[in-house]
Structure 1
């Protein structure tokens, strides 16, 4: 008698394929008897691109307008249309859809995080994934003419809550985390050594602002332990009067150590400050 091989699908899910009936035919899962519970899912995706492409998006210089705003709306719309795109998904009455797009200048990419919530009888993982995927595709579509090397990656569910299985969260890759920590420590040490005894802030200008000022990078001396971004800008205007108009533009974007920041953000010696032109509408 032939021994039956282990079935990895059954091992993962005691009921096997839940979207296939006894006849082996595709079937939407019957959730009629399931309890209504609060359900939530978080997903993410990344769009990697050339540094200049990312700066163009952040500075609002793209001819098609506000790329991030369009991608955000596309992601929200996609979550609501998931059942129309994935054949066996249930149409859901979502009570919340959130799409966040965060430029990561240090990694030349945009991180997309989506959140979907409802009170219902089935989970919202597919809605969160669809939102992340379509937001990423929209970014690609709007920028493909200027950057054909863009890569969409890392699309996955980070967390889900509710239902019979309860709370689940993606386990972090400890080896990867440790590597990131080590690299961060090395980078911090190098920065400390490079700025030891120095009381300056490195300031960079991007996109149209760089052309307007005729300058890409400059060092600003500190007269105190720290300044705010607003004070750094005033120092630049004081020392370069012809920069006043460009640096006083409404909605000027600023960052500290490659993280977008407000004018009140604190800046210390050795920090890197960047200024971007205002974001345009679209």
Structure 2
């Protein structure tokens, strides 16, 4: 897990300064899906919806949303996108609509959020247009499929999944002000290095290492995450998990 660049050493939210980054070609592709009843999907495909062409409307909504991402996500930079493409594919196996969004530019920061925003708003538009006839639709499977360009290089969702499966032990990361207080960014542990198998057990083990660690990790407001999802001390850990500790996030 990389550092949380949108937090400073005090845990305050900030917009990242990208002025020193090189201008490179960057692309990102994201996906989402809307699961619905089969007769709802048939109505969309056959063009029988009273509101009009659902897929065309959702496609335009996704493109428009990508261009306005910085107005929707507080810490995103306004970007001059050179390409936004949104594809909506009916899938009888879901049944529902699969959505793929691709964004591209030559710039100093990535376009993952623009692609995610395009896919998400396209899905929301499908939901909005069809909610009167199908109240049980489900929006899901929203994630970045692949990314190219920039300092972190190229990657795909599938390759990241493979890398995670190959990790042994626990990968532990400390963020923002906490890493300054503890004097360490990250460390690795095996599950059998401490007694128990929960996040709380791991925290107890870490606090026992040094008095300084005990002081800073004993805050009742300490935030914890496992595999980039907020977690409670009772959560069970397994080999390959990424664990993160960080102070409360404040505005700024």
1:113 to 2:100 alignment: yes
Q: How many residues align?
A: 161
Q: Determine helix, strand or coil for the equivalent of 1:106.
A: coil
Q: Determine helix, strand or coil for the equivalent of 1:171.
A: helix
Q: Determine helix, strand or coil for the equivalent of 1:107.
A: coil
The residue correspondences of 1:201-220 to structure 2 (distance < 5 A) are none
- Of residues 33, 48, 59 in structure 1, which corresponds to 2:20? 33
Runs of 4 or more off by more than 3 Å in structure 1? none
- Of residues 21, 35, 45 in structure 1, which corresponds to 2:32? 45
Q: Structure 1 residue 171: deviation in Å?
A: 1.1
Q: Structure 1 residue 105: deviation in Å?
A: 1.5
Of structures 1 and 2, the larger Rg is shown by 1
**Residues 221-280 of structure 1 deviation map (CA, whole Å, 9 limit, x = unaligned):** xxxxxxxxxxxxxxxxxxxxxxxxxxxxxxxxxxxxxxxxxxxxxxxxxxxxxxxxxxxx
Residue number in structure 1 paired with 2:83: 96
1:79 to 2:61 alignment: no
Q: Determine helix, strand or coil for the equivalent of 1:47.
A: strand
Residue number in structure 1 paired with 2:124: 137
- Of residues 46, 51, 54 in structure 2, which corresponds to 1:59? 46
User: Structure 1 CA distance, aligned partners of 2:45 and 2:32?
Assistant: 18
Normalised to the residue count of structure 1, the TM-score between the two structures is 0.56
Residue number in structure 1 paired with 2:143: 156
User: Structure 2 CA distance, aligned partners of 1:168 and 1:106?
Assistant: 28
The residue correspondences of 1:153-192 to structure 2 (distance < 5 A) are 153-171=140-158
User: Structure 2 CA distance, aligned partners of 1:70 and 1:23?
Assistant: 44
User: Structure 1 CA distance, aligned partners of 2:95 and 2:11?
Assistant: 46
Q: Structure 1 residue 106: deviation in Å?
A: 2.7
**Residues 117-143 of structure 1 deviation map (CA, whole Å, 9 limit, x = unaligned):** 000000000000000000000000000
Which ranges of structure 1 fall in alignment gaps of 5 or more residues? 1-11, 175-282
1:127 to 2:118 alignment: no
Q: Alpha carbon RMSD of aligned pairs, Å?
A: 1.2
User: Structure 2 CA distance, aligned partners of 1:81 and 1:113?
Assistant: 18
Q: Determine helix, strand or coil for the equivalent of 2:158.
A: coil
Instruction: Select between 106-115 and 90-99 the one with higher mean Cα deviation.
Output: 106-115
Normalised to the residue count of structure 2, the TM-score between the two structures is 0.62
